[in-house]
């Protein structure tokens, strides 16, 4: 049994080599460039943890974990093109550095490579793994599309927003855990519970993300507080506020200038008790996640790393 | 046994329904829009023909043929974005009609759907089918990248150009045939020969494409003769000319105005005997293809539809 941190190290070592052929460089260098960005590798490690929940890690699990991380990076490269984002984590995005055509095609070939890794696993698990992987991949695309739709919409309801977050963020975390459990030999019931654990945790995770952006401790947060507000990004906090604030309050906010927008938005959030609301909602989803974890029929000692991960993801300050 | 035309009809009927969920419309409508463009469906029908070369068509072959057609359409949608092409076959491209982000994402989800179709086939053939499909998909991406590289290059050698055409065009035709044969139960030797038949035929096909653009009969061709020349596109003809023409001839051409560019280029082609050269090279690749077809260990009557297809593709006037 390993902690998240230990598995991260193990995965990073296996993942850090080159994944693509050397030529044509104009196709594969942009792909390798992006993979070198790093990142927390949360999804592949969750796949390994899903496996270890039920048994020792099987070699196939590293192939699937790699495929998941490649898929995730493919979505990031393409999302950055769609969002016209110049930077990611302070570094030039692929299309900024190599141009849009090369970024688009590098993303495509990265998705194909993900399927190449999936196809390395033993034949008797392949169909089930592909089934869940494909379903999830489609959902993530749907989530990204909804997110883009919402940017153009004046009014998005809480339910619509929640549905988008489920698709764009939660299902991949959930599927990563389930794929690991499936490879470890978990039965259908346990697989369903680990999936639901991941899905609920994903929502709580996103709630914490949105919360920190507005109410994080500037010294611990690492990024500028209020970034989402400046970027006019819809978040759980902004969606909820638009549903509970009065017309007058919303009107006052809409005429705020660039200078005082963050300040005025945070003030309105406080007036509407959005901080408290977000904390409670996050706790609700965390409890739902833990309830599913509880129901998984394995020794509780096997659940410890996942419990620790949940606590960390939900109460992190950065 | 069926002719290409008969199989086209059978495939079109199966393929013509809706492939994607209804919602979100902004994701799936662009994908359905493009699939309704039609096209000759050459690749999926070749997959069916590859199967019928060895046996009655197995139901799985329709899933793989569908996956191939979806993959091909995914590449066209993304190629059109990369090439900034406003039209395809006279109709608005996906990104022109729906915007680049929607086109990009619709292409992505179309590739995922291709894998969903592949995953419908029987477990015992899945790994081999995926192996060939993935290898081919990577090669097609490489071909597209090389094609984009060549646009920016002043000088591209015949060998470089041939390699690009193999990757961008030939391997998918070859793999379509082989996948069908594989599903029909062909052995490794026969699979190799059908693949090589397709690969050589693909090159001959491209040579005929390039030939028709310059020397086609305007009444039969259907498109404006000289389109490649106007678009400054590298073709077998232009590449060969740049290798055999004198510096003076090339220099004269380079100062041709927009008005007389087509005329002057065609004149140079004739002076260099490029038309005769292209015909002979096409015949050489056709013969190589037929040699591989000949070596396939099945009754010659089974090869008849492929023989007819080769004759048609290579000697067509439009």
Q: Is B8 helix (H, G, I), strand (E, B) or coil?
A: helix
- Give the C-alpha separation, B236 to B158, whole Å: 8
**B residues 130-169 closer than 8 Å to A (CB):** 130-131, 134, 137-138, 141-142, 144-146, 148-149
Q: Which CATH class is domain A187-318?
A: mainly alpha
The two three-digit tokens of residue A216, written as one number: 């994080």
Nearest to A142 among B27, B111, B116 (CB): B27
B169-179 pLDDT, tens per residue? 999 999 999 99
Indicate yes or no: CB of A78 within 8 angstroms of CB of B104: yes
Q: Smallest Cα–Cα separation from B210: which of B164, B247, B254?
A: B164
A251-261 pLDDT, tens per residue? 999 888 888 99
CB B114 within 8 A of CB B74: yes
Q: Smallest Cα–Cα separation from A121: which of A71, A69, A173, A66?
A: A66
CB A119 within 8 A of CB B131: yes
- Give the C-alpha separation, A128 to A164, whole Å: 25
Say which residue, B223 or A40, is predicted with more confidence. A40
- Taking all residues of chain B, what is their mean pLDDT, rounded to a whole number? 96
Nearest to A104 among B26, B81, B119 (CB): B81
B222, pLDDT greater than 80: no
The pLDDT, as a whole number, for residue A259 is 84
Burial B62-89 (b: 16+ CB within 10 A, else e): bbbbbbbbbbbbbbbbbbbbbeeeeebe
B239, pLDDT greater than 80: yes
A268-313 pLDDT, tens per residue? 999 999 999 999 999 999 999 999 999 999 999 999 999 999 998 9
Mean pLDDT, residues A98-115: 98
Going by pLDDT thresholds of 50, 70 and 90, the confidence category of residue A136 is very high
B36-76 pLDDT, tens per residue? 988 889 999 999 999 999 999 999 999 999 999 999 999 99
B256: burial class by Cβ within 10 Å (0-12, 13-18, 19+)? middle
The pLDDT, as a whole number, for residue A121 is 98
A111, pLDDT greater than 80: yes
**B residues 102-131 closer than 8 Å to A (CB):** 102, 104-105, 107-109, 111-113, 115-116, 119, 123-124, 126-127, 130-131
B304-310 long-range Cβ contacts below 8 angstroms, 24+ apart = B304/B1, B305/B1, B305/B2, B305/B3, B305/B4, B305/B7, B305/B49, B305/B52, B306/B49, B306/B53, B306/B197, B308/B3, B308/B4, B309/B4, B309/B46, B309/B49, B310/B197, B310/B201, B310/B204, B310/B286
A243, pLDDT greater than 90: yes
The two three-digit tokens of residue B47, written as one number: 């997959």
* Predicted model pTM: 0.96
ipTM of the complex: 0.96
Q: Which H or E run includes A92?
A: strand A91-92
Tell which phi-psi region holds residue B41, choosing left (phi > 0), alpha (psi between -120 and 50) or beta: left
Indicate yes or no: CB of A112 within 8 angstroms of CB of B141: yes
Query: For B162, which DSSP code?
Result: H
The pLDDT, as a whole number, for residue A37 is 87
CB A190 within 8 A of CB A198: no
The pLDDT, as a whole number, for residue A100 is 98
B17, pLDDT greater than 80: yes
Domain boundaries, chain A: 1-136, 187-318
Q: Which H or E run includes B170?
A: none
What is the CATH superfamily name and number for domain A1-136?
Answer: Farnesyl Diphosphate Synthase (1.10.600.10)
Q: What residues form DSSP beta bridges with A310? A: none
- Helix ranges (H only) for chain A are 4-15, 25-35, 42-54, 60-83, 94-98, 100-118, 123-152, 158-165, 171-184, 188-215, 218-221, 227-230, 236-244, 247-254, 261-271, 274-295, 300-315
Q: Does A78 touch chain B (CB under 8 A)?
A: yes
- Give the C-alpha separation, B71 to B108, whole Å: 10
Distance from CA of B73 to the nearest CA of A (A): 13
Going by pLDDT thresholds of 50, 70 and 90, the confidence category of residue A38 is confident
A223, pLDDT greater than 80: no
Residue B159 to residues A77, A202, B167, B169: CA-CA distances in angstroms? Answer: 32, 51, 13, 15
CB B68 within 8 A of CB B174: no
The pLDDT, as a whole number, for residue A39 is 86
Distance from CA of B95 to the nearest CA of A (A): 12
A177-191 pLDDT, tens per residue? 999 999 999 999 999
- Taking all residues of chain A, what is their mean pLDDT, rounded to a whole number? 96
Set of chain B residues whose Cβ sits within 8 Å of the Cβ of A102: 145, 148
Q: Using N-to-C axis directions, what is the helix angle for B123-152 and B100-118, rounded to 10°?
A: 150
The pLDDT, as a whole number, for residue A222 is 76
CB A81 within 8 A of CB A104: yes
**Residue A157 CA neighbour count, 13 Å, CB half:** 3
**CB within 8 Å of B33: residues ≥ 6 apart:** B94, B97, B98
DSSP codes, B75-123: HHHHHHHHHT-SEETTEE-HHHHH-HHHHHHHHHHHHHHHHHHHTTS-H
Neighbours of B153 (CB within 10 A): 11
**CB within 8 Å of B218: residues ≥ 6 apart:** B225
The two three-digit tokens of residue A245, written as one number: 């604030």
- Give the C-alpha separation, A161 to A157, whole Å: 6
The pLDDT, as a whole number, for residue A268 is 96
Query: For B15, which DSSP code?
Result: H
The pLDDT, as a whole number, for residue B219 is 85
The two three-digit tokens of residue B224, written as one number: 């404006």
Q: Which H or E run includes B45?
A: helix B42-52
Neighbours of A194 (CB within 10 A): 32
B300, pLDDT greater than 90: yes
Going by pLDDT thresholds of 50, 70 and 90, the confidence category of residue B244 is very high
Set of chain A residues whose Cβ sits within 8 Å of the Cβ of B138: 109, 112-113, 116
**Of A170-184, B116-130, B217-231, B239-253, where does mean pLDDT reach its minimum?**
B217-231
Q: Do domains A1-136 and A187-318 have the same CATH topology?
A: yes
The pLDDT, as a whole number, for residue B170 is 98
The pLDDT, as a whole number, for residue A218 is 84
The pLDDT, as a whole number, for residue A73 is 98
Mean pLDDT, residues B16-21: 96
Nearest to B82 among A101, A134, A148 (CB): A101
- Give the C-alpha separation, B95 to B57, whole Å: 37
């Amino acid at each position: 049994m390993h902690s998240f941190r230990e598995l991260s190290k193990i995965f990073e070592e296996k993942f850090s080599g080159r994944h693509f052929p050397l030529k044509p460089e104009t196709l594969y260098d942009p792909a390798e460039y992006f993979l070198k960005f790093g990142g927390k590798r949360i999804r592949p490690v969750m796949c390994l943890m899903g496996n270890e929940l039920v048994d020792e890690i099987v070699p196939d699990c590293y192939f699937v974990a790699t495929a998941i991380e490649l898929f995730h990076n493919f979505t990031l490269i393409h999302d950055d093109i769609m969002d016209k984002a110049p930077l990611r984590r302070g570094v030039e995005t692929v299309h900024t550095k190599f141009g849009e055509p090369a970024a688009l095609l590098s993303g495509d070939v990265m998705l194909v490579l993900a399927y190449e890794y999936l196809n390395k696993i033993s034949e008797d698990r392949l169909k089930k793994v592909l089934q869940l992987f494909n379903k999830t991949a489609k959902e993530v695309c749907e989530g990204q599309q909804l997110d883009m739709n919402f940017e153009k919409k004046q009014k998005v309801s809480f339910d619509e927003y929640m549905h988008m977050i489920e698709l764009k963020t939660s299902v991949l975390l959930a599927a990563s855990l389930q794929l690991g459990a499936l490879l470890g030999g978990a039965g259908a019931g346990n697989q369903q519970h680990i999936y639901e654990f991941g899905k609920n945790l994903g929502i709580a995770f996103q709630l914490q993300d949105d919360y920190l952006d507005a109410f994080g401790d500037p010294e611990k947060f690492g990024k500028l507080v209020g970034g989402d507000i400046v970027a006019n990004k819809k978040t759980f906090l902004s969606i909820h506020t638009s549903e509970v604030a009065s017309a007058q309050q919303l009107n006052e906010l809409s005429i705020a200038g660039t200078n005082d927008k963050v300040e005025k938005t945070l003030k309105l959030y406080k007036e509407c008790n959005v901080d408290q609301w977000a904390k409670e909602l996050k706790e609700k989803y965390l409890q739902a996640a833990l309830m599913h974890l509880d129901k998984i029929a394995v020794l509780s000692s096997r659940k410890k790393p996942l419990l620790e991960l949940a606590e960390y993801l939900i109460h992190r300050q950065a």
